[in-house]
């Protein structure tokens, strides 16, 4: 078991230890990410990125190397064009699909990548993939240098890189967590599974709402397009998961 949201050491990644990780479908991910920001505000990375001027934190200036001054200027120009008051209002009501719609389109717009994350922007993945795909690759794939080299210029190259560098042996899907966990325990361990029904996991969802209430057809397709690597790898389909 490794610490939440942190990548293990290179020694562990390259070891023969069995690596187990969780993954959720991209539509649930974005709704959860937004809901978390509505509830916890400054504990959310995207909330801070969209509402606060942060010229150093999150800019990955060391990673940018000699291009750091130019990328800093691009960030300042992009952020100062934003209306931070309007962005604050996007987090005012976690039960408002219209606010989520505006937020989602902004998060998935490549021109906002430099505001969201310096590493995401420097990787170049924002040109053809969403923030979730970047986070997945950064966390669950080795060879970070190549991920941020700028050489991954299209989805096919990204898929090739992920196929070679993903170090996870088994994924638990949050929409089928109990059955996935039970399958894992039966197949890979000698543990007794009588208490699996009591296994709990976190899910940030607006009360009284389900994912499909927040996704008009065009946004279902938008997420599917931006997160194509994950949808293809894990066979994610919105209708099958959420209708």
- What is the 3-state composition of the chain as percent helix, strand, coil, each rounded to the nearest 5? 60, 5, 35
For residue 231, tell me if it sits in a domain: yes
The reported pTM is 0.88
Residues 143-160: pLDDT tens digits?
Answer: 989 999 989 999 999 999
- The Cα 120–Cα 71 span in angstroms is 12
pLDDT attached to residue 1: 42
Q: What residue numbers bound the domain in which 118 lies?
A: 10-242
Which of 39-53, 162-176, 185-199, 223-237 is least confident? 185-199
The structural domain count of the chain equals: 1
For residue 5, tell me if it sits in a domain: no
Residues 171-197: pLDDT tens digits?
Answer: 999 888 878 888 788 777 766 655 555
Both tokens of residue 72? 């800093």
Q: How many of the other CB atoms lie within 10 Å of CB of 203?
A: 13
- The Cα 226–Cα 150 span in angstroms is 18
Both tokens of residue 142? 């080795």
For residue 2, tell me if it sits in a domain: no
For residue 1, tell me if it sits in a domain: no
For residue 225, tell me if it sits in a domain: yes
For residue 38, tell me if it sits in a domain: yes
For residue 202, tell me if it sits in a domain: yes
Query: Who has greater pLDDT, 197 or 86?
Result: 86
What is the average pLDDT score of the chain?
88
């Amino acid at each position: 078991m490794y610490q939440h949201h942190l990548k293990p050491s290179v020694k562990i990644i390259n070891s023969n230890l069995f690596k187990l990780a969780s993954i959720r479908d991209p539509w649930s991910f974005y709704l959860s990410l937004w809901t978390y920001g509505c509830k916890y505000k400054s504990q959310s990375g995207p909330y801070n990125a969209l509402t606060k001027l942060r010229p150093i934190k999150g800019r990955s200036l060391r990673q940018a190397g000699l291009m750091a001054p130019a990328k800093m200027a691009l960030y300042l120009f992009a952020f100062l064009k934003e209306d931070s008051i309007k962005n604050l209002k996007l987090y005012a009501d976690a039960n408002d699909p219209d606010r989520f719609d505006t937020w989602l389109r902004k998060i998935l717009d490549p021109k906002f990548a430099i505001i969201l994350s310096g590493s995401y922007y420097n990787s170049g993945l924002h040109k053809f993939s969403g923030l979730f795909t970047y986070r997945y690759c950064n966390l669950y794939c080795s060879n970070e240098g190549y991920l941020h080299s700028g050489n991954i210029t299209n989805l096919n190259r990204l898929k090739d890189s992920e196929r070679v560098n993903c170090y996870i042996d088994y994924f638990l899907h949050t929409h089928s967590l109990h059955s996935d966990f039970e399958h894992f325990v039966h197949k890979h361990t000698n543990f007794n599974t009588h208490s699996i029904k009591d296994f709990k996991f976190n899910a940030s969802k607006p009360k009284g709402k389900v994912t499909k209430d927040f996704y008009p057809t065009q946004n279902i397709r938008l997420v599917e397009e931006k997160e194509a690597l994950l949808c293809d790898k894990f066979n994610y389909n919105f209708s099958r998961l959420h209708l």
